[in-house]
Amino acid sequence: MESKNIIEQLYEIIEARRDNPIERSYTSYLFKEGIDKILKKIGEEASEVIIGAKNNSKEETVYEISDLIYHIVVLMAAQGIKIEDITEELEKRRQKICNKKPERKEVESIH
């Protein structure tokens, strides 16, 4: 049985495409196009997650969240951010209690 979860496996595949590009690979294409293309795709996918959720469609939302996660993992690999970096940050946050930020005041006017 494989000890790595699907996100870890995905990360390894994405790193391999970054380090050894394959012709006609979408992942290799994203790395070739650079950070602006990767960030644009993350923005598009985040919007599609919102639309899927607003449509109250679990199937659509799951599909779009999967696309968003994929593109975020591409960004992570492009920036040298490891799965462990995210895991450590989430662990720190899990240990915090009552850390909800206060509500922001509404802006009345901008001068």
Q: How far is residue 48's CA from residue 60's CA, in Å, rounded to a whole number? A: 9
Q: How far is residue 78's CA from residue 35's CA, in Å, rounded to a whole number? A: 7
pLDDT at residue 1, rounded to an integer: 41
Q: Spell out the domain ranges in the chain.
A: 6-85
pTM (two decimals) = 0.83
* CATH superfamily, region 6-85: MazG-like (1.10.287.1080)
Tens digit of pLDDT for each residue in 55-93? 999 999 999 999 999 999 999 999 999 999 999 999 998
Residue 2 pLDDT exceeds 70: no
pLDDT at residue 110, rounded to an integer: 65
